[in-house]
Structures are given as structure tokens and as C-alpha cells.
Homo-oligomer: A and B are copies of this chain.
Amino acid sequence: MIVIDKKSNLPYYEQIYQQIKEQIITQQIPANQKLPSTRDLSADLMVSRNTVINSYSQLEVEGFIKSIGGSGYYVEQLNLPVSSSFDSFSNHVDHSIHTEHTPCKYDFQYGDLDYNCYKIKSLKKCITNAIDTLSVQQRLFYSSKEGIPELREALSHYLFLSRGVKCSPDQIIITSGHQYSLNIIAHLFSSEHWIFAMEEPGYDGTRAIFEQNKYKITPVPLETDGIAIKDLHNLKKTLLYITPSHQFPMGSVLSIAKRLSILKWAETNHGYIIEDDYDSELRYHTHSIPSLQSIDQNNRTIYLGTLSKSLSPDLRIAFVVLPKTLVSYYHEKERLSYCSVPSFLQMALAEFMISGYYQKHINTLRTYYKKKNKCILKLLEESNTDHMTLYGSDAGLHFVLSIPTHLEQPDIIEAFAKNNIQVYPTDIYWMDKKHCPKNQILVGYSSIPMKDIKNAMKLFFITLHDLSKQ
């Protein structure tokens, strides 16, 4: 029995379709039952025959009924579940309740940026220009997997001028973030034939990607001027991940002697160096250090950069510079890949770079963070906290602090939290956690607004003072 509700918003064919479907599912119409002919049903319901034909077609394409040539429509033999779920089409939305503790007033987090120093206007202009250009060019497409030529061209110029990186646009791959870049490298090589080595301590996000890709991970200990060279000698067929210009998290700079030794190692042992140059623009007391890639004569360096620190983590833009010798292999391996960055955004960034906005922005950013960095260091100096050691405070957006206390990291962090200050552990950056100094914490200052620094640091010192008594 089918009822047409002439007042309903549902079209007639939909009403017929729904009702027959329900009757099949609830087995009111059994399998193999013949349905009324379209002519009969349309007369019955006083609707057009086309309406019934539409309903039957939909039921047929979904496999509820079959048409047997000349004879009419029959219900299919369906293996229906005992308690049917078809009738419970209501949206059961589970909003899981996350228990979160109240966030601290001052969050010394690493990674998030301070919005105050960003002039979003010029970027917005570039984005709307890009959308307009695309609509005039009528381009709406999967861009080539390595990114649009305009942005790769702009980047190759910028990288040469700012970091000495020598590359053609062909060597550049635009990606949607550091992890995406690492995934490309992990896929380019093979975990069966290559070892992955990295600084200990080092960035846990990097380690996670190579673990996920089933690489054997070898930690290489850190000395004050970068990784211990003697530990490299036994490493053959190795991808060595380093942060030479500003070690993460300890902030050291890899000396030129070590840079040359590492290049020599890579050449001799057929290794590759993955140079992560994640925040090289942000040096405050010396100018930025030429990249390892710029002095590599043997195509052993894969250079990684990101706009997450220098522009915004929200743009999701990073890039890989491959050695010339790996470019065609990459194209072969990633034959079926697509670029993960929208091309309108790539066009906007190309314009942002070419028109000089980017360089201007970097300068503003450096000045701004330098002021913040100087202010914090000055306050630290004035605080007269004895026996405290600061690592990596002359660059970037964070430092590591050793506190003279017998407490361990979780307790130190809790002590800060009690004073409304959120600081972070460093043990996550160690593969072998027992080597991690118990009294170190990571302090990121990028997202604390300038106006809050003094108040935040006041609470910071109160905590430090309390701690040094424990």
C-alpha cells in the first residue's frame, strides 16, 4: 500500500521509491514478488507513468528490484540483516566529551606564532589576485606534483640569495608541510636498504615519520658544535637528518669543520644528508649561516625548508630541494602523485615573493622577535637566578633551560603550571630517554605577545626561585 502525500515537500517519485524500499527491507513485500506494472501503479496513485518509472529505476539501480525483460519488475533476493538499520536513518551524533584542564594564562609553546607582527593585508591581496587570475585563465586543475613553476622559480631565487642554496626550479618540490616533505623522502628511498640516522636529541615529529615508514632509526649523539662525527663512520647507506643552522631543540650551530666532515662522510659512504633549515631566517645576533647544501659539491644534500616559521604555520607550505641527481628518480617513483598544495595558494605566494613582500615581512619578523628575544634575555640576566643554563637563545623562537633543582621534568612543569605558566618537556626529543637531563625544559616564546612578556616572566622567575630551593 503506497500513499502519496500531496502536501509533502518530497517529490512523488521519491515518496513512491521510499515506501517501496521500506516495504522490501521490512519484508512486507517478499523476495521474488512481482511489483505492479508502471501503468497500473500510476493509474492507481493518479500520478504520471514517468513518475513511477523514475521510482522503479532508482530501486533497480540500487539492486532492490530487477526488471525481467517483457515481464515486469520483481523484488530481488536480499540477504537482509535481522535488525535492519535502514529505518534508523536519524543522525546519531556522539559528541565525545574531552576532559581538558584549564589552560595556563601564559603558554610558552613552541610552534605557534604571535599574530601581532603579521601584516596579513598584502598576503590577502595576493590570494585574491591569484583567484582572479585563475578565473580569467580558466585554470582549474590538478597542478603538477612538484608544484607550479612560478613558485618554484621564486623560491629558487630566494633560497640562493638568503641561504646560498644552489638549485634550479626543477629540483624544488612544494609540499603541504614538513611531515609531507619527510614522507616524500621516506618513500623515495627504501626502509629495507637504507638506515635513518638523526641527532639525539632531535625533533620527535621527524622520527615519527620515519618510524611510520618502517625505517631503522639510529640516534647520533650531539656535542656542543653539532653531531659527533666519529659516530658516523660506521654508517653506510644512511640518510642523515640534521638541523645544522640551529639544532632542534638544543640550538647549537654546526661548525664549518663538521659540515665539511659530514659532506666528506656522505661522499665516501654514499649517504645522503637531509638538511632541515627550519628557522634559518631568525638569527638575532649574527647573520644567517649559509646552508650545507650551498657547499655540497657532490649532490649528497636534500634540503628542507618551510614557511611555517617565517610566514605562518597555517599556510601549510614547505618544500624539498632535491639534489640534481635524484630529480628524475623522484618523477619516476611519484609518477601518480599530486601536489597537495592548492595552486591558487601557490600563485599567491609566488606573487608575495616576487613583489618583495616576503623579504620585507622577514625583516619585520626578525626585528620583532629580536626585540622579544632581547627583552627575555635581559630579564633573565636581571633575575639573578644562579646555576641556570640557557641553550640556543640567540636564534629561533625557543630556548632550552637547565634549572638547578632536584625535581624532574613533570614536576618542574607542574610547578610552573601552578603559577599559570605552561612550559614543555625535552625528553620527548630523546630516543633513549635515560640520557635526557632531568632538569631541562623547553621554552618557546613566539606566541606570547610583547605586551605580556614582562608579566609572564615575573611569574616565570617566581617559579624558578621556588624551584631552586627544591
Contacts and interface: CB of A to CB of B under 8 A. Distances in A.
Nearest to A285: B57
B258 A63 contact: yes
Contacts of A116: 138
A363 interface: no
A95 interface: yes
Interface in A85-103: 85-86, 89, 91-96
Nearest to A156: B93
B170 A257 contact: no
A214 B214 contact: yes
Interface string A271-314: 00000000000000111011000111100000000001000111
A404 interface: no
A63 B259 contact: yes
A253 B94 CA distance: 31
Contact of A314 (B111, B177, B257, B343): B343
B89 A287 contact: no
B187 A212 contact: yes
Given A142-B111, A142-B112, A225-B63, A79 B257 contact: yes
A341 B317 CA distance: 10
Q: A interface, by DSSP: helix, strand, loop or mixed?
A: loop
- Number of identical monomers bound together in the oligomeric complex: 2
A468 interface: no
B324 A170 contact: no
Interface string A302-332: 0000001000111110000000100100000
A381 B259 CA distance: 70
Contact of A86 (B89, B96, B118, B295): B295
Nearest to A54: B286
Contacts of A85: 295-297
Interface stretch (A120-128, A416-424, A455-463): A120-128
A65 to B, nearest CB: 10
A236 interface: no
Interface string A129-153: 0011011001111110000000000
Nearest to A428: B336
A264 B78 CA distance: 12
A205 interface: yes
Interface residues of A, number: 107
A340 B340 contact: yes
Nearest to A259: B63
A140 B118 contact: yes
Nearest to A113: B140
Nearest to A290: B62
Given A140-B118, A141-B314, A168 B95 contact: yes
Interface string A11-44: 0001000000000000000000000000000000
A388 interface: no
Given A85-B295, A91-B166, A64 B135 contact: no
Nearest to A208: B336
A160 interface: yes
Contacts of A405: none
Contact of A76 (B96, B167, B255): B255
A208 B333 CA distance: 10
Interface string A162-203: 001011111000001101100100010000000000000000
A260 B131 contact: no
Q: Which of A114, A118, A140, A225 has the most B CB atoms < 10 Å from its CB?
A: A140
Contacts of A63: 225, 253-259
Given A79-B260, A120-B135, 11 more contacts: A64-B256, A81-B297, A93-B169, A113-B141, A124-B131, A140-B313, A179-B340, A208-B335, A208-B336, A314-B343, A314-B344
13 contacts: A57-B285, A62-B255, A78-B257, A78-B260, A81-B264, A93-B169, A95-B170, A96-B327, A113-B140, A128-B128, A141-B314, A176-B176, A214-B214
